[in-house]
């Protein structure tokens, strides 16, 4: 199977988990990374709906002109993703994240909240980020805001890690017993592997 951003499944259940899952597997280590450039990250942001329309086009134009800034922003994207994985993996395992992981997350969270502003209308208030057109960190800020929302609003027992591929997901099933990121992918593969071993032992 050819892996592309277009074929990447969105099984995380929320923006931050879909971001963490932009590698094909975490066990034992990623064999394929769907994000190879900053443009890939923008394309992923468009895929998940966190960035669209004129704002997406503006950031694409900025990234194409300011290549060094885009490269630095992309390094931050990957560093942040690799910080978010151990943070939520520990939570999924029912343990406390490593202190260094928490420190790095809090530092990135602080930067994100410096860009947040509120807009008010008759229907209520909405969160927006800085309108600076050169702010290439805007799509990553949306991911960090999603992480904050999950950490402050979700039931930690619903934050899970697929035992086969290591993808993080939010279990929204009625009984909270979901085990796999996708039953039709990792679940069926695990069942097929179990069947193979059972047949091998009895043959």
**Whats the size of the chain, residue-wise?**
203
pLDDT in tens, 96-131: 999 999 999 999 999 999 998 888 999 899 888 876
- pTM of the predicted model as reported, rounded to 2 decimal places: 0.89
Q: Which residues of 141-179 are buried (b: 16+ CB within 10 A; e: fewer)?
A: bbbbbbbbebbeebeeebbbbbebbbbbbbbeeeeeebe
Task: Give the whole-angstrom CA distance, residue 49 versus residue 182.
Answer: 21
Looking at CATH, the fold of the domain delimited by 15-202 is given as Jann2411-like fold (1.10.3300)
Distance of CA 117 to the CA centre of its chain: 23
Which of 20-24's residues contact partners 24+ apart within 8 Å by CB, and which partners?
A: 20/81, 20/84, 20/85, 20/88, 20/167, 20/168, 21/167, 21/168, 21/169, 21/181, 22/81, 24/165
Average pLDDT over residues 132-159: 92
* Residue 197: pLDDT over 70: no
Residue 193 has pLDDT above 70, yes or no: no
Give the pair of three-digit tokens for residue 141: 């800020």
Q: What is the DSSP letter of 156?
A: G
Assess whether pLDDT exceeds 80 at residue 133.
Answer: no
pLDDT in tens, 11-64: 999 999 999 999 999 988 788 999 999 999 999 999 999 998 998 999 999 999
| pLDDT band, residue 4 (cuts 50/70/90) | very high
Indicate the pLDDT class of residue 173, thresholds 50, 70 and 90: very high
Per-residue confidence band for 184, with pLDDT thresholds at 50, 70 and 90: confident
CA 111 – CA 46 distance, rounded (Å) = 23
Which SS3 state, helix, strand or coil, does residue 124 take? strand
Beta-bridge partners for 109: none
CA distance 70 to 62: 8
pLDDT band at 195 (very low <50, low <70, confident <90, very high): very low
Q: Sign of dihedral through CA atoms 172, 91, 15, 31?
A: negative
Asked if residue 112 lies in contact with residue 120, where contact means CB atoms within 8 angstroms, the answer is no
% of the chain at pLDDT higher than 70: 89
Query: How confident is the model over 50-100, as pLDDT tens digits?
Result: 998 998 999 999 999 999 999 999 999 999 999 999 999 999 999 999 999
Q: Give residue 112's pLDDT.
A: 95
Q: What integer pLDDT is reported at residue 192 of this predicted model?
A: 44
What's the angle, vertex CA 137, arms to CA 16 and CA 56, rounded to 5?
A: 85
What pLDDT is attached to residue 81? 98
Query: Is the pLDDT confidence value at 160 over 90?
Result: yes
């Amino acid at each position: 199977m050819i892996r592309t951003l277009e074929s990447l499944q969105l099984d995380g259940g929320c923006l931050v988990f879909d971001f963490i899952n932009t590698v094909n597997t975490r066990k034992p280590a990623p064999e394929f990374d769907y994000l190879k450039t900053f443009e890939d990250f923008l394309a992923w942001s468009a895929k998940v709906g966190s960035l669209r329309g004129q704002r997406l086009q503006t950031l694409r134009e900025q990234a194409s002109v300011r290549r060094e800034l885009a490269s630095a922003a992309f390094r931050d994207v990957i560093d942040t993703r690799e910080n978010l994985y151990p943070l939520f993996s520990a939570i999924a395992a029912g343990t406390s994240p490593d202190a260094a992981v928490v420190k790095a997350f809090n530092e990135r969270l602080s930067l994100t909240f410096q860009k947040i502003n509120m807009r008010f209308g008759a229907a209520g208030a909405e969160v927006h980020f800085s309108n600076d057109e050169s702010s290439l960190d805007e799509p990553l800020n949306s991911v960090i805001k999603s992480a904050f929302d999950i950490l402050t609003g979700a039931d930690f027992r619903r934050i899970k890690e697929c035992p086969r591929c290591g993808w993080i997901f939010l279990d929204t099933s009625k009984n909270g017993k979901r085990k796999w990121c996708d039953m039709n992918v990792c679940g069926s593969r695990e069942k097929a592997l179990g069947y193979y071993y059972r047949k091998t032992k009895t043959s």
